[in-house]
Amino acid sequence: MLRIGVCGLGTVGQSFLRHITEHQSKIRSNVSVDFEISMIADRSIKSKKYPKNIAVTNNILDMASSSDVDIIVELVGGIDASYELLKNAINNGKHIITANKALIAEHGDELFSLAKKNNIYLGFEASVAGAIPIIKTLSNSMANEEILSLAGIINGTCNYILDQMSSYNLDFNDALDEAKKLGYAEADPTFDINGMDAAHKISILTSLVYKVASPLKHIYIEGIENITPMDMIYAKELGYCIKHLGITKKDGDFIESRVHPVLVPIDNVFSKINGVKNSILINGDKFGTSMLYGNGAGGDATASAVISDLVDAINYVSNENKTSNYSIGSIGTSSLQIKNNSDISSPFYLRIHAEDISGVMAEITNILASEEISIEAVTQHEPNDANSLIPIVMITNAVKGSLIDDAIKQIELLEHVKDKVYKIRVFKIDEK
Amino acid sequence: MLRIGVCGLGTVGQSFLRHITEHQSKIRSNVSVDFEISMIADRSIKSKKYPKNIAVTNNILDMASSSDVDIIVELVGGIDASYELLKNAINNGKHIITANKALIAEHGDELFSLAKKNNIYLGFEASVAGAIPIIKTLSNSMANEEILSLAGIINGTCNYILDQMSSYNLDFNDALDEAKKLGYAEADPTFDINGMDAAHKISILTSLVYKVASPLKHIYIEGIENITPMDMIYAKELGYCIKHLGITKKDGDFIESRVHPVLVPIDNVFSKINGVKNSILINGDKFGTSMLYGNGAGGDATASAVISDLVDAINYVSNENKTSNYSIGSIGTSSLQIKNNSDISSPFYLRIHAEDISGVMAEITNILASEEISIEAVTQHEPNDANSLIPIVMITNAVKGSLIDDAIKQIELLEHVKDKVYKIRVFKIDEK
């Protein structure tokens, strides 16, 4: 009988307990030894509902040393306490399942290496993109060839906000309020909208796919706070929609690893990923382009990923499947460097606000020409009234980030250009 | 040292040999025992290129009894010889990987049961949707809850043809010729366009998900031969596109299992699956709606799936992973019945050709009303000239197939209605 300890009885924890009860016959058919929930830890356990006859504690650290627990399901979130819990638990021979992306992004290298040393199962499917089985698919079906690139809509809050801005011509703050009302954004949505949540996820995926150490420190991170309804309209005119993507990609001896808004061609499948859904596109040397799509958050979806790890953990402990920690063994061992964002080439979308005076466009195009940046598309509307600024929007050829930044600096110095120039990378998906 | 025998050196076989050579270090990192290609069988082995120092034979049945082979990779296709090969091989204790959908759809129940009895690994990831890891995902990540429904674009040839008809206003035969020219349709495309290929795949998925015996015999099968450019145009006007789907779905004590054209709402993600790509949407009780998308055919994509099975097979034989044949154990054991197509409810698209005479529409709507079928949308254009028939196109509410067939029979008897009435089911995707 394997004994499972659950840390954290929030939304996911409650869904986990329901799932394990409702679908226990399915779950039991996928393992060869019996299991039970033996302990629950939650800071405010007294206010929570949980099954009777189970040991409880309000100190999650108790579980790391409890003799009543073989497998710990960590659903607490946060970093410090979870880190201590997991490190102690692994050292005490307990197997781990976690949904904690911040923890894995910050301390994954150390925890994976500790788990490998102690022959411990460490499952983290639920830490990236909820119910999408991206960790298992990359670790199994896609692990036998080179992954050329991976790009994903991995923050449902951002995707919902961008979708609302585009569909209903809302500005950022109104769309954010709407997302909060519907529970798609948290009361403090900072880490979602500034890109940090997506950065945690792309860091974990970069670890898994390219084995580099601590990618999070080197990831370029940009959120969606500066996108305006105007950008949505201009992007559409030019045949694009705006999405917030996480990208990791091999480029020679370097890895590109970044999260930021991008323009995606309107006929690409990414453009149809609406609302809070997540979607990850993976390019393999042999399998070509594949995509996984599904619920990136929510109690049931996340718990479903936790349960799939639980089955792996039980089969690991019972010696039915020892392969499930193969992929974590080599994390952090690669010497590949993460490329500086200023060295990464792509086409750029530029939004420039200028006074409606003849000659401004010529000054701008001269600057771009002097930097050998060519303009692939441009769109400019009539000003609303005689005194208002005109937005000039253009798409360049593929150039390095540093080059576009040089050009932007010069453009911003022009007498008739007002406000900051806003740039968004254009994403090219080479489907195989 | 595990010895691998390859049966069939066609496109997939050649890709398989290349993949295993090019990415051997990745593959070796996922297994704990060594392996080698020890034997190759192909009817015309003399005309094929293959690595030196390997035993060869032009009789694939030799391999079933060869003492030099532990794992057989069956890439021959066809049914009779492959069936004999696999049955003998399993009885002789050899593990099996096959890409043969027709074989698995026809004889899967027997082969799975034989494999289970003999503790044999039997991998068939490559038999459905090429590089899309649908078999492993359903067997692992999605195996711990109820699958409510599964629907997929699982025939690339059909999808390419429909895409071309829609994008360039081509008729079926011109689009088929185009597909043949580009290698997207075979010289004899019968089994693709009449739905049989998709039926093999949905039969395998129905076996895996719902465990029913021999679903193929009971699947409703309809191809795309009767779709006209006119249907494409009318569907678009009504907010839909036309796709060919395979569907399997639980409905109480019954299973719906069918392949046929459907109208899909234009804002659904299915509508953006273009060209020869495949895409499978799965609804789970807990994980909600997920989709897997990728290359459904092609040598490299199919070989990639075969390689992922090979790694599972090696880990099975070396006792590192015994879970990979859990899911096949119960195939064929369910008593769930497959529902008759005439009992399945959905909205219908109807295309009726009538003479341009007043009162025709009233006659048609009276018939529908008498069957308690209501019209949700209708579109009708001017006739091209005074003598030509007018196409009347409508979408009904959700009704049983038998009811719509009764109504169609009566409509076809009307004096001013000419030609057969053409019906297409409208697909409702309830995303969770």
- Residuewise pLDDT in 10s, chain A (432 residues): 999 999 999 999 999 999 999 999 999 999 999 999 999 999 999 999 898 889 999 999 999 999 999 999 999 999 999 999 999 999 999 999 999 999 999 999 999 999 999 999 999 999 999 999 999 999 999 999 999 999 999 999 999 999 999 999 999 999 999 999 999 999 999 999 999 999 999 999 999 999 999 899 999 999 999 999 999 999 999 999 999 999 999 999 999 999 999 999 998 889 989 899 999 999 999 999 999 999 999 999 999 999 999 999 999 999 999 998 888 888 999 999 999 999 999 999 999 999 988 899 999 999 999 999 999 999 887 777 767 889 999 999 999 999 999 999 999 999 999 999 999 999 987 777
Per CATH, the number for A2-131+299-325 is 3.40.50.720
Which residue among the candidates A101, A136, A201, A243 is catalytic per the annotation? A201
Nearest residue to A290 via CA among B298, B211, B161: B298
Q: Which CATH class is domain A138-294?
A: alpha beta
- Catalytic, A201? Answer yes
Measured CA to CA, the distance from residue A105 to residue B353 in angstroms comes to: 62
Q: Do A19 and B311 touch (CB under 8 A)?
A: no
Give the right CATH number for A344-426 from 3.20.20.60, 1.10.3720.10, 3.10.450.50, 3.30.70.260: 3.30.70.260
Q: Do A300 and B311 touch (CB under 8 A)?
A: no
Instruction: Name the phi and psi angles at A386, rounded to 5.
Output: -60, -35
* Alpha carbon of B359: minimum distance to chain A alpha carbons (Å): 42
Which residue among the candidates B201, B211, B243, B339 is catalytic per the annotation? B201
- CATH architecture of structural domain B342-426: 2-Layer Sandwich (3.30)
Interface test with A, best of B286, B291, B314, B317 (most A CBs within 10 A): B286
Residues of B within 8 A of A267 (CB-CB) are 272, 274
C-alpha distances in Å from residue A326, one per residue of A119, A127, B320: 11, 18, 11
C-alpha distances in Å from residue A54, one per residue of A39, A41, A58, A82: 6, 10, 13, 22
Measured CA to CA, the distance from residue B100 to residue B126 in angstroms comes to: 8
Chain B residue with the nearest C-alpha to that of A15? B286
Q: Which segments of B119-258 does DSSP mark as H helices, in order?
A: 134-139, 156-168, 172-181, 190-193, 196-210, 229-237
Helices B156-168 & B229-237, crossing angle to 10 degrees? Answer: 70
Across the interface, of A133, A284, A291, the residue whose CB is closest to B141 is A133
Chain B residue with the nearest C-alpha to that of A298? B287
Per CATH, the number for B138-295 is 3.30.360.10
Measured CA to CA, the distance from residue A310 to residue B403 in angstroms comes to: 47
Across the interface, of B142, B304, B315, the residue whose CB is closest to A284 is B304
Q: Look at the block and give the residue holding tokens 């109480």.
A: B252
* Alpha carbon of A33: minimum distance to chain B alpha carbons (Å): 12
Residues of B within 8 A of A305 (CB-CB) are 141, 287
Please report, for chain B, the start and end positions of each structural domain, with discontinuous segments joined by +. 2-131+299-325, 138-295, 342-426
Q: Look at the block and give the residue holding tokens 């299991």.
A: A35
* Alpha carbon of B290: minimum distance to chain A alpha carbons (Å): 4
* pLDDT one-digit tens code per residue, B239-292: 999 999 999 999 999 999 999 999 999 988 899 898 999 999 999 999 999 999
Chain A residue with the nearest C-alpha to that of B287? A301
* Alpha carbon of B344: minimum distance to chain A alpha carbons (Å): 27
